[in-house]
Amino acid sequence: MSNNLLRYIRSVEPIPEDSPLEECYAYCGKINRAYGKSFYASSLIISREKRRSINALYGFLRLGDEIADFPLEGRGPEGSRRHLDLLREMIIEGDERGCHSNPIIQAYIDTAKKYRIPVRHAMRFLDSMEMDLACRRYSTIGELKEYTYGCASVVGILVTYVLGYREEKAFEYAVKLGHAMQMTNFLRDIKEDIRRGRVYLPSEDMERFGVTVEDIERERMTEPLRSLISHYVDLTRSDYSRVDSGYRFFKPDGVRFVYAARILYSMILDRLEAIDCDVFRKRAVVPMAVKLLLSLRVLFLSVDRLTSMRIKKPRRPRRKNNNEP
């Protein structure tokens, strides 16, 4: 029954229940490679032992995300809700027994036990996935942050347990980074999200900028919408800048992973500005070759060098005047 959930992981061939632990970890690694993109590139620069645990986290997170975003044919939101409930039960059962027959849950539980990750964080993440099944709009940035805490900041917390921290304050910066990364995803994925009936831009800001849901539904780039997206690009850049003062609270693997993730996701904002924030015309994507080159660079730089580097804000592309040819 529990392995029926593996049908949601459409891009990776499932493995049998009760597979050996190393095969469970390897399966999660394949999921990270297939879906992770920036997350996967960031994981390449940490030790093998930590990387396999990061893969286990990602396997669990991706499963919850896929259940919420892509209901199985004929199941609809109620089917997804039942499967999220099942996933909660599997995590609780695995936490109590120390193992589980589902390969993703087995790898996650083994990692959680090894790094003493409280089960409440997995529950909070799944709660946020369930929110996506019902809540399609957020009135204020405060409401949106409640959602991003569960779906993204909790991810930062999980990763921090695995990668290690020198001081508890590291978790504060992990929360900030998670929020910034999720806001970056929201801005990049406006087109894809509206096709699922979701708008993550806060209603009060849409009203203030003169943006309507109809503009987004018609996939029509208007100047008010462009200005709103640009506004959130600036806010999100500021969020990333606040993360830069927190590297010293992480252990070396954590510094490298956080630094790489911060730069890679900032590059998505660069791409958004390069296309003049027109998310309907072209998706803001950072090529995998660029991600791998950055990861390689981070791998060979010392932690002291990484923590002392100043990250320059890229120059904003010049907007073309309407009168220009």
Per residue in 139-156, pLDDT (tens digit) is: 999 999 999 999 999 999
The answer to whether 27 and 103 have CB atoms below 8 angstroms apart is yes
Over pLDDT 90: what percentage of the chain? 75
Enclosing domain of residue 194: 135-309
Same domain? For 139 and 205 the reply is yes
Q: d(Cα 137, Cα 144) in Å, to the nearest integer?
A: 9
Judge whether 56 and 108 are in contact, CB under 8 Å.
yes
- Region 286-295: mean pLDDT is 88
Q: Tokens 């529990």 identify what position?
A: 2
* 112 and 146 co-located in one domain: no
Last residue within a domain, chosen from 124, 158, 179: 124
Q: Phi and psi at residue 306, in whole multiples of 5°?
A: -60, -45
Same domain? 75 vs 203: no
In a domain, 318, yes or no: no
Residue 102 backbone dihedrals phi, psi, to 5 degrees:
-70, 125
Cα separation, 253 vs 237, in Å, equals: 23
C-alpha 133/C-alpha 80 separation (Å) is 8
Residues 6+ apart with CB under 8 A from 94: 100, 105, 106, 108, 109
Q: Is residue 3 part of a domain?
A: no
Where residue 123 falls among pLDDT bands split at 50, 70, 90?
Answer: very high
Average pLDDT of the segment spanning 127-140: 88
Residue 271 tokens read as 């791409």
Does a structural domain hold residue 287? yes
pTM, 2 dp: 0.90
The rounded Cα 244 to chain-centroid distance in angstroms is 19
Inform me whether the pLDDT recorded for 190 exceeds 90: yes
Residues 112 and 153 in one domain: no
My answer on whether 146 and 67 are in the same domain is no
Q: Containing H/E element for 204? A: helix 203-209
Closest alpha carbon to 51 in 64, 33, 78: 33
Lowest mean pLDDT among 211-220, 222-231, 281-290, 295-304: 295-304
| Domain final residue, candidates 124, 156, 176 | 124
- 161, 302: one domain: yes
Q: Which two tokens stand for residue 164?
A: 């290690």
State the Cα–Cα distance between residues 51 and 157, nearest whole angstrom.
Answer: 16
Q: What is the mean pLDDT of residues 65-81?
A: 84
Within a domain: 10: no
Quick one: average pLDDT of 86-100?
A: 94
Given 124, 155, 186, the domain boundary residue is 124
Query: Has residue 268 got a pLDDT over 90?
Result: yes
Of 183, 174, 179, 184, nearest in space to 152 by CA: 179
**Domain total of the chain:** 2
Residue 119, pLDDT above cutoff 90: yes
- Say which range, 80-89, 224-233, 314-323, has the weakest mean pLDDT: 314-323
Q: 175 pLDDT band (50/70/90 cuts)?
A: very high
pLDDT of residue 153: 97
Residues 116 and 237 in one domain: no
Residues 151 and 104 in one domain: no
Q: Is residue 206, in this structure, part of any structural domain at all? A: yes
DSSP assignment, residue 166?
S
In the chain, pLDDT over 70 holds for what percent of residues? 92
Same-domain status, 141 and 288: yes
Look over the chain and give the mean of its residue pLDDT values, rounded to a whole number.
90
The span from the CA of 61 to the CA of 57, in Å, is 6
Q: Are 34 and 110 within one domain?
A: yes
Answer yes or no: is 211 within a domain. yes
Taking the CA atoms of residue 230, residue 277, residue 233 and residue 183 in that order, the dihedral angle to the nearest 10 degrees is 130
Q: Are residues 248 and 302 in the same domain?
A: yes
4 part of a folded domain: no
Whether 38 shows a pLDDT value over 90: the answer reads no
pLDDT average, residue stretch 24-53: 92
Residues with Cβ within 8 Å of 272's Cβ and at least 6 positions away in sequence, in order, are 187, 188, 229, 233, 279, 284
- 10 pLDDT band (50/70/90 cuts)? confident
Same domain for 71 and 43: yes
Amino acid at 156: G
Residue 130 lies in a domain: no
Does the structure show a pLDDT above 70 at 3? no
**Which H helix or E strand runs over 233?**
helix 223-243
